[in-house]
Structure 1
Amino acid sequence: MNNYIAVDIGASSGRLVKGTLHNEQIELQEIHRFDNSFAEKGGHHYWDVDYLFAEIIKGLQQAKQEGVDSCTLGIDTWGVDYVLLDDDGKRIHDVYAYRDGRTAQAADQLHQAISRSAVYSKTGIQEQPFNTLYQLYVHDSDQLSRAGQIVLVPDYLYYRLTGKIMNEMTNASTMQLLNLDTKEFDADLLALLKLRRDQFARLAAPGERLGMISPELQKRYDLPACELIVVPTHDTASAVVGVPAAQDKPWAYISSGTWSLLGVERSSPLNTPAAMEANYTNEWGAYGTFRFLKNIMGLWMIQEVRREAQNSHNYAELAALALEEEPFRHLVPCNDNRFLNPDSMIREIQNSCFETTGEAPQTIGQLARCIFDSLALTYRDSIHELQELTNETLEAIYIVGGGANNELLCKLTADIAGVEVMAGPAEATALGNIIVQMISMGEVPQLHDARRLVASSFKVKKFSPDPIQEQHEIFARWEQIKTKQIKSKR
C-alpha cells in the first residue's frame, strides 16, 4: 500500500495528512498539526518559514515513528507571498505576510505606469492589494537586485527539502505576473518591476516527480524515504481538485476557510472587461484548467472575533449562538478592505453596522450571525455574477474546506442563493494534494476518476434551498447597505 503525505499549511494552522487507497476508498489520517500565524516585527508583519520547515520535519519524524518508511510528499500553502534567495540560496529578507499594510497604496502607484485594464488583459488576475505584483513593486530595490531567485513559500519549502528550485504554476499565477497568452512571466510587468526572467525559477506543473528528499535531511532527522511530487501548491487549487463533483450538471465551488474562494473550473480563461469589472480572477489550476473565481473575505472574520473573545467558544458553539439571534438584523459588506487586517475585528464590524443602519451587534452571537448572514448574501451576489459572466446556470454549489462543517452557513447559502448546496469534504485541500500524488504515481488514472473516488469515500451533506421570509425586503436592504458603504468610501 502506497503512503501519500500532504503538507497542507494555511494562514492559521498546518498539518501533515497521510492518505492511502484501500478497497477502492481513500483513507486519511492526520499525522501532525501545528499552529501558524504571522507576527509583527519593526512595524511589519512576517511569516516564520523556518518554523514551518521545522514542523514539516517533526511531522515526517512522527510518520516514521508510526511505521511509514517510504512515501510521496506534496506541499500546499496560501498564495502570493514570496522568498528572496541570494546566489547561494540563502534568504535575503524575512518573508512578508500578505496582510502587511505596506501595499495599501501600491496598486494606485503602479497603475500610473500601466493601466488596470492592461494588466488584467495580460494576466486575468483580479486586483487585490496584496498580490505579489504590488508587493514586489514596493519592496526594497536593493534587496530585489540582489535576489538570485524569487520563489513563493511552498516552492521554498520544496527547495529546503530537495535542493531543487522551481515555481509551481498554480501558485505562480496568483503573483499577477504570468501572461495568459505566452504561459510565461510577462516581460512588460517584469520590466516595470526592474526584474529579470532568470530571477524566477522554471514553471513546474502539478504531477511532476521532483525527486527524493535530501539524503542529509533523511539521515540527520531519521525521516522516511520521501519522493517529492509537485502538487497544486496553492491551497485553493488543491481544494478544487478535491471537489467531489462526480455529477455532470453545472457546478460551482466555494473553498471555505480563512478566505472564501467562489468560482467555477474552466478549460479557458475569461479575462473580459466585464470579468475585470466584477473583479474575477483566472488562476491556473491543475491539468490545464483555470479557476475562474472571486475572493471573499471568508471565515477570517469569525476567526478574528473568536480570537478577540479569548477563544471562549468553539466554532460549533458560535454557529449555535448565531442561530438563536434575529436573522439579517446586522449586515456588513464582507469584502470591504477595512476587514482585511483591522486592529479590532469586533470594533470594525460594529462601526460598519452603525455607519449604515445606526445600530451595531453587541453580543458574540449577534456578531457571528452578522458575519454568517453577510457571507451568505455575498455568496449570492457572486453566484449571480458568475452565472451572468459565464452564461451558464449553476445547478449545484460544492462547499469544501472548514466552512463545510458550518451547517448554518451552508443552509443560509442554499436558501439565499436558491441553489442546492453540497457540503464536504472538509479535508478537500489535503485530498486534492494527495489525489495529484496518486495520479502521478499511476494509482488513480485521471482527475475525473479521482473525483468519483472522493464522492464515494467521504460523506457529502446536501442542503436544498427553502424560501426565505421577507427575502425581497432583505435583498433590498442589503443593496442599500452596500451602496451606503460605497458612498462613505468616497
Structure 2
Amino acid sequence: MRPKGDILAFDFGASSGRCIAGRLEGDSLEVETLHRFENRPVRLNGRFHWDILALYREILEALIIHRRDFGGGILSLAVDTWGVDYGLIGKDGRLLSNPRHYRDVRTEGIPEKLFALVPENELYAAGGIQMMSINTVFQLFAEREENRELFESARALAMTPDLLNYFLTGKLRSELSIASTSALVDPRKRDWNRPLIRKLGYPEGLFTPIIKPGEELGPVSADVEAFTGLSGTRVFATCSHDTQSAIAAVPAEKEDFIYLSSGTWSLMGVETDEPVLSTRAAELRITNEIGAGGKISLLSNIMGLWLIQECKRIWDREGRVFDYSRLVEMAESELSFGTLINPMDQRFTAPENMPEEIRAAAAETRQEVPRKEGQIACCIFKSLALVYRRTMEGIEGLTGKKYPVIHIVGGGVRNRLLCRMAAQATGRPVVAGPAEATALGNIILQAAGQGLISDLAAGRRLVASAVKPERYEPGTRTGWDDDFRRFCRLYPE
C-alpha cells in the first residue's frame, strides 16, 4: 500500500516559478497547482543577478500554504531550475555573492580567452556541450577574472537547484543533470571531468559529489521546520535541470521520438544511450546533457519564446499591452508576411529593444521590415518552426534514424499556431502536451526514487493518463519547403 501524502515539485523557470502537488491514487496521478510566482532578475550597476533569496522565500511560502490548506502531509519535495547558473559557497558555509544571471554581459569575449587554454574542439570533446558564452565553464572563467579574491575564497560551487537544496537541507551535492549543463562533466563517465577542471585551473574542491535523480538528500533543516511548522519533510534530487524533468514526462508510446521542450528556451532533441562528440555534432551546436536513467539527451538549445516575451515587455512598456493569446491571433492574421530571422543569432540574446533588433536584422538581410506587432510575432513563430526543421534534420543525420513524431511539452504548447507551424515546417505529426511537463517529470522521478512506481516508463504512463495531449498533423504544407530553402540561404549553418 502506498503511503498517503503529496509529492511537491518546485519548478523554477527563467521568468516564473510554481509549486505543484502530485498525488498518486491507484494507477492515476492527480496534480494541483499550489503556488505561482514571478522570477524577476535584478539589474544593479549594469549587471544582472538572480534574486535567489526571493526564490527561496517562495519555497517556504508554498510549504506554509500546504500546511495551512492540506495539513502538511508531504512525502517529499524536489527542486528543478534552468541550467548553467550557480552560486559560490564560502568556507564559512555562506553564499559569497548573489548569483549572476546567464544573460549578464560578463562573459562577452570570455570563450576566446578560455580557448587559449583549452581549444574549442577539445572542450567540446571533453564535455559535449554546445558552445554558448552563458555556459558555466565560461562564467567561472569570467568570475575568476572579475574577482579573483572572491573566487579563491570559495569552497564549493552549487548550481542553482543545488543551492536551493542547500538552503533547505544544509547538504551540498551536485545533481547529475544540472551538473551536465556546466560543460565540466564527462558525459561518458557521468561524472565531473577532473582532467579538464585541472587544465582550466579551477579548484577541484569546488565540485561536490554527484548524485543521481531519485536519490534522497535528507530532511529539511531544523530551521526550515521551525519556520514552516512542518516536520520530517524529505528532500529528493529530481532531474534538477528543468529540461530533463520535462523530457522525463514526455507521454511517448514508443522509444523513438523527438522532443521539444518549449518555453523561454526551445530545447529539441532525442534520447540516446551514449554521447555523440563528433566534429559534425559540434558544428550543429549539439549538446549532450544527461537525463533520467543516465540517458543522454542529444539536443540543441534554441532561443525560443524569449523572442516574443521580450517583444511583449517592450510593447507593454510603451503602453501597447497585449496578452499572449492576442499576439498569436495577430500573428495568424499576418501569415502572408514572409520575413525570417535567425533565432540562434547572438544578437537576440539580450538586446535593449527586441522589436527594433528584429527590424534591424530584417533590414540588414534586405527583407521587408516588420512594422506591425502581428508581423513581428508571425516572423518569430515562422522562424522558430524553420529552426526546428533544421535541428531535426541535423539530429537525424547524426543518429541515422528518422523519428516518426515530435512531442512538444512545456508552456509553449499553449501556442497552437506555433505547434501547427512546427508540424507543417517539419512534415511530422506533433503531439503537444503536457504544459506542466517539468513539474510532472519532477514528481514521477521523486516517486520512482521512493519506490512508489517501478521506473520512468511507468511514470510516463501515469503522465499519459493524467493529460490529454493535442495532435497536429502536417496537413497542407504549401510554401514551407520554399521557406526552408530561403531560410537556409539567408542563414547558412
The reply on whether 1:429 has 2:435 as its aligned counterpart is: no
For residue 425 of structure 2, the aligned residue among 416, 441, 447 is: 416
The reply on whether 1:31 has 2:38 as its aligned counterpart is: no
TM-score, normalization: structure 2? 0.95
Deviation at 1:293, TM superposition (A): 0.1
Q: Is the Cα contact below 8 Å between 2:117 and 2:200 reproduced in 1?
A: no
Q: Is the Cα contact below 8 Å between 1:47 and 1:95 reproduced in 2?
A: yes
CA distance in 1, matches of 2:480, 2:58: 48
Q: Is the Cα contact below 8 Å between 2:187 and 2:290 reproduced in 1?
A: no
What do the CA deviations read for 1:443-478 (whole angstroms, capped 9, x no partner)? 211111111121121011111112322334322321
**Structure 1 residue aligned with 2:390:** 381
* Alignment gaps of 5+ in structure 1: none
**RMSD of the alignment, in Å?**
1.4
Counterpart of 1:102, as a letter, is R
SS of equivalent residue, structure 1 residue 95: coil
SS of equivalent residue, structure 2 residue 234: strand
**Structure 2 residue aligned with 1:253:** 259
**Structure 2 residue aligned with 1:171:** 178
CA distance in 2, matches of 1:46, 1:426: 27
**Structure 1 residue aligned with 2:269:** 263
For residue 77 of structure 1, the aligned residue among 81, 93, 116 is: 81
**Structure 2 residue aligned with 1:274:** 280
CA 146–296 in structure 1, closer or farther in 2 if over 3 Å, else same? same
* Alignment gaps of 5+ in structure 2: none
Percent identity, aligned pairs only? 37
CA distance in 2, matches of 1:182, 1:252: 25
CA distance in 2, matches of 1:351, 1:101: 21
Deviation at 1:23, TM superposition (A): 4.2
Q: Is the Cα contact below 8 Å between 1:75 and 1:154 reproduced in 2?
A: yes
Deviation at 1:283, TM superposition (A): 0.5
SS of equivalent residue, structure 2 residue 267: strand
**Structure 2 residue aligned with 1:326:** 335
SS of equivalent residue, structure 1 residue 254: strand
**Structure 2 residue aligned with 1:107:** 111
CA distance in 1, matches of 2:390, 2:32: 37
**Structure 1 residue aligned with 2:449:** 440
Deviation at 1:42, TM superposition (A): 1.7
Counterpart of 2:12, as a letter, is I
The more displaced of 321-330 and 50-59 is 321-330
**Structure 1 residue aligned with 2:134:** 130
The reply on whether 1:402 has 2:403 as its aligned counterpart is: no
CA distance in 1, matches of 2:436, 2:261: 11
**Structure 2 residue aligned with 1:221:** 228
What do the CA deviations read for 1:154-190 (whole angstroms, capped 9, x no partner)? 1010010111110111000111011234433223332
Counterpart of 1:299, as a letter, is L
Number of residues of Structure 1 aligned to a counterpart in Structure 2: 483
**Structure 1 residue aligned with 2:206:** 199
Counterpart of 1:57, as a letter, is L
Q: Is the Cα contact below 8 Å between 2:42 and 2:50 reproduced in 1?
A: yes
CA distance in 1, matches of 2:26, 2:339: 49
Matches within 5 A, 1:334-373: 334-373=343-382
CA distance in 2, matches of 1:211, 1:187: 27
Q: Is the Cα contact below 8 Å between 1:9 and 1:15 reproduced in 2?
A: yes
**Structure 2 residue aligned with 1:190:** 197
Matches within 5 A, 1:49-60: 49-60=52-63
Q: Is the Cα contact below 8 Å between 2:63 and 2:72 reproduced in 1?
A: no
SS of equivalent residue, structure 1 residue 171: helix
SS of equivalent residue, structure 1 residue 326: coil
Counterpart of 2:119, as a letter, is S
Deviation at 1:350, TM superposition (A): 0.7
